[in-house]
Structure 1
Amino acid sequence: MSNNGSTGRELYSERMFPTSFDVLRYEVIPEKARIQIFQHFNNLIDELPSKNEPYVYRDAIFNNAMKDILLRRGVLDYVELLPSGVYSNVNYLNGDNNLSKINALLSRVEKDFFLLLIFADEKDYLLILDLIEILSYCVADLYLKSSSEKIDQAINNVFRKNGIGYELVKNQIIHKGNEVVHKEIIRPSLNFLSDSGYSGANEEMLQAFSEFRNNNFKGAIHNASKAFESTMKIIIEKNNWELINPNPRQPVPSLNKATAHVLIATIANHSQVESFHSNALRNLRDTLQTLANLRNSHTGHGQGSVVTETYIRHCEFALHTAAANILYLIKTFD
């Protein structure tokens, strides 16, 4: 299904009044967007090539998604995740005598997932994003590998047209932050890291964005630093370079135990990397460590809005800088 509806074309109202958001929304996922996302998933399940054609695993997909979210949230019934005020609406729609389109078109488990997605408090954005991410994983798991790109494309179109500041990349929700930085640095770096040879670094970078989304800024900076180091280790191993310890008084460590200090020195010594970028890599190492120390120094203290906002900016800087350097390293040495 095209991103521009079933016809593959923009409508007159969309051409004349294109959706434009100067400030992306992060903490509110409107009902309209959630309905569109569910519709896209419903269509994709029918259209995507499964691993065992011609079978379609609709109930298996939604069963797995519901089991996952209930387990992660520690509840037995999805109704427990909804605001108390909407329980009667959900109960009515679940009634046996209801002849609504929901009952007519969806199986019980599909309907349950739909109701949870739609009736969830629009400000409970973490629950809604978790539902989208879990469903994308469950769909991609039963379909061919190429399906992930189509899922990402469809969901991201909804995010973009509704001014929602997230993007689905390889079945994981990513906080977009600055649009230009995201488009030119974050997305390309994640695409490069999705190569099987960089699976460890990819997992760490995705975890960094996951920690950022959940306000664990210390964890986000830590994982961004790990992804940066893992990328250097992979590049050194691919090029079969011998490790260089810039401190001659210390023994040369194994690759697994090598510090960023040793890794940067090794890359600089074995390559024609410009001296200014060798310095930049060292500065990045120091910056990530400084930001982590800054976060550590406030652990256990009260956090007002100003302090929290400072952490967000520091964390965004760490993520963007790490991603930019990872992108440079892979494009230069791979």
Structure 2
Amino acid sequence: MAVFNLFSKRQKQARGEVPDVYTYDSLPQPFRVQVVHIIRDAFGIDHYSSNYAKKSYQLVKDILCREYGLFELVPHPRSDEDSVFKFFLAEQSVERALDVIELSFRVMVGNIQNNREYARNTIRTISPEDAIVELNNRFKEHGIGYQFESNELIRVDSEFLHAEAVKPTLTVLRGEGFAGANQEFLAAHEHYRHGRHKESLVDALKAFESTMKAIIQLRRWQTKPNDTAKALIATCLSNGLLPDYFETQASSIRILLESGIPTLRNKNGGHGQGPDPVEVPAYYARYVLNLTATTILFLVEAHNALR
């Protein structure tokens, strides 16, 4: 269902009562209710004796219960649907509430989208594709800094950077040969969303290296299995993927990623952080993630443009 620009919304916009920065630690109740409407419309209602929609709710509930170590999400639920939605509407932990959103939308993509039997045996008012569009619009509408992309919730710090760098990067990494880089890039974002900034830098570096390895393999250029980022950059330069003047820029990105924390300086995993914990600020991890996104996008587009 489309997001309607109601009179009350237009008045709030006219008065400047709209979020100008993203929040990450709060999911307003109106937003949660809107998400329930989206999931209900996308999961649908079963025809007569069919149980496709019922099984979708059961799958979401069973996974959550197993992962949280619970027998039930809420006391005395009337159904699995009732259990999931009551839990979601009342849950104080934002991360757990986001778990419900991400898992429900993964079910839409994996079990409902392109499933003809599901379509024939349920009554639905919205497709999984349109459900994702509406969810992302609701996130923006409430100033909540997340988007559902590539089957995961991604934290968004700048709408411009997300639209111009992160989202296109996720798109190109879905191409043939880039599955490993895509997985590592998503893992970097997942670590960042949960505040694991050191781990985010580690996976950003892996994604950067894996992208170059994928291109080199697709191009059948000569390289060694244990080549580091420095050697991979040299291979890309010598084979004409990158112009010569990009060597300094690419090397600077490599150094930034490898020296972000001391454990990254050693190609075999580092020697530990020592007696004092090493803290990586969120703004540094965010900078590295965005820089990694633009660099990966540049590399893949150069690969696609190369004859």
User: TM-score range, shorter-chain basis?
Assistant: 0.7 to 0.9
Q: CA deviation at 1:266?
A: 0.3
Are positions 1:277 and 2:246 aligned together?
yes
Given candidates 77, 80, 88, the residue that maps to 1:117 is 88
Equivalent pair of 1:45/1:56 in contact (CA under 8 Å): no
Please give the alpha-carbon distance, in whole angstroms, between the structure 2 residues aligned to 1:184 and 1:234: 23
Mind listing any 5+ residue stretches in structure 1 that lack a counterpart?
A: 48-54, 80-89, 95-106, 244-252
Mind listing any 5+ residue stretches in structure 2 that lack a counterpart?
A: 116-126, 265-269
TM-score by length of 1: 0.77
Equivalent pair of 1:70/1:78 in contact (CA under 8 Å): yes
Please give the alpha-carbon distance, in whole angstroms, between the structure 1 residues aligned to 2:166 and 2:141: 20
Aligned equivalent of 1:166 = 146
Are positions 1:313 and 2:293 aligned together?
no
Are positions 1:27 and 2:7 aligned together?
no
Question: Deviations 1:65-104 (Å, cap 9, x if unpaired)?
Answer: 111112222222213xxxxxxxxxx66xx5xxxxxxxxxx
Please give the alpha-carbon distance, in whole angstroms, between the structure 2 residues aligned to 1:120 and 1:300: 38
Please give the alpha-carbon distance, in whole angstroms, between the structure 1 residues aligned to 2:275 and 2:135: 38
After TM superposition, the structure 1 stretch with the greater mean CA deviation from structure 2, 323-332 or 11-20, is 11-20
Aligned equivalent of 1:67 = 62
Shift in CA distance, 56/237, structure 1 to aligned 2, threshold 3 Å:
farther
Please give the alpha-carbon distance, in whole angstroms, between the structure 1 residues aligned to 2:262 and 2:128: 37
The one-letter code of the counterpart of 1:115 is K
Shift in CA distance, 177/158, structure 1 to aligned 2, threshold 3 Å:
same
Please give the alpha-carbon distance, in whole angstroms, between the structure 2 residues aligned to 1:189 and 1:22: 25
State the SS of the aligned residue for 1:197.
Answer: coil
Shift in CA distance, 298/23, structure 1 to aligned 2, threshold 3 Å:
farther
TM-score by length of 2: 0.83
Given candidates 5, 10, 24, the residue that maps to 1:10 is 5
Please give the alpha-carbon distance, in whole angstroms, between the structure 1 residues aligned to 2:109 and 2:220: 35
Map 1:73-112 → 2, pairs under 5 A = 73-79=68-74, 94=77, 108-112=79-83
Q: CA deviation at 1:154?
A: 1.6
RMSD of aligned C-alpha atoms?
2.5
State the SS of the aligned residue for 1:288.
Answer: helix
The one-letter code of the counterpart of 2:71 is L
Q: CA deviation at 1:15?
A: 2.7
Aligned equivalent of 1:198 = 178
Please give the alpha-carbon distance, in whole angstroms, between the structure 1 residues aligned to 2:275 and 2:146: 30
Please give the alpha-carbon distance, in whole angstroms, between the structure 2 residues aligned to 1:175 and 1:231: 22
Identity of aligned residues (%): 25
Are positions 1:156 and 2:136 aligned together?
yes
Q: CA deviation at 1:302?
A: 6.4
Please give the alpha-carbon distance, in whole angstroms, between the structure 2 residues aligned to 1:316 and 1:298: 21
Equivalent pair of 1:46/1:56 in contact (CA under 8 Å): no
Q: CA deviation at 1:145?
A: 5.4
Aligned equivalent of 2:120 = none
Q: CA deviation at 1:148?
A: 5.4
Question: Deviations 1:126-145 (Å, cap 9, x if unpaired)?
Answer: 11111111111112111235
